[in-house]
Structure 1
Amino acid sequence: MKATIWHNPDCGTSRKTLAILQEAPGINLTVIEYKKVPFDRAKLVQLFRDAGLTPRVALRTRGSRAEELGLINGGENQRILDEMARDAILVERPFVETEKGVRLCRPQEIVHEIL
């Protein structure tokens, strides 16, 4: 099974999710360090749709500029998407995609739903 993780090596939850994927048998894993290879807007739209999330729900508020940008208490989803495409740190992490679906893996055990 193919799996892709949008990974931040500085994040403990992302590292734990990556470890689960690396230990799972039969996984052909692609790791995208999204701080080095940012999301494009279309991919964000697809990931959120497939995970059943809105951009607001997937917005990382801690350790990001979300509040400074006015996204927490009034940013519209389209504006949030635009800002996420400009600054990947605004996207909560980690996202994992397999042929069984997409999940925001917080907590990391959620990844088992799509393995």
Structure 2
Amino acid sequence: MAVTIYHNPRCSKSRQTLALLQEQGEDPKIVEYLKDTPDAATLEDFLKKLDMEPRELMRRKEAPYKELGLDDPGLSREALIAAMVEHPVLIERPIVVKGKKVALGRPPENVLEIL
């Protein structure tokens, strides 16, 4: 079964996760999500499979988080997901997908659970 990693080559955790996948004999499809951003439906699917709320999959220290007021508790799930689509730098990384399973590679060893 194919493995996909939503990857940022500038991120050390993302690079470590990619290396771990390769050490496990995987040849993952690499999606540089800053260039090829997942759509809202894909992010919603990831959130459901990760059993997370949108803010849990957001990089809250990134400038757009504060600039857009994304800490506002009144914002809907849809608004938060839309912000991640519009500003993919907000998406926590790396996300690894294998079949119907999804893992967040923070720490990288988390992905071993879905292989």
TM-score normalised over the length of structure 2: 0.91
Residues paired across the two proteins, number = 114
Deviations 1:49-72 (A, max 9, x none): 111111111111123411111112
Q: Percent identity?
A: 39
Q: Which residue of 1 aligns with 2:112?
A: 112
Structure 2 gaps, min length 5: none
Q: Give the secondary-structure state (helix, strand or coil) at the position aligned to 1:84.
A: helix
Q: Which residue of 2 aligns with 1:88?
A: 88
TM-score normalised over the length of structure 1: 0.91
Q: Which residue of 1 aligns with 2:60?
A: 61
Contact kept? 1:101, 1:114, Cα under 8 Å = yes
Greater helix share, structure number: 2
Contact kept? 1:84, 1:90, Cα under 8 Å = yes
Amino acid at match of 1:39: P
Query: How far did 1:100 drift?
Result: 5.7
Amino acid at match of 1:8: N
Tell me how large the CA RMSD over aligned residues is: 1.3
Work out the CA distance in 2 between the residues paired with 1:31 and 1:45.
20
Amino acid at match of 2:40: R
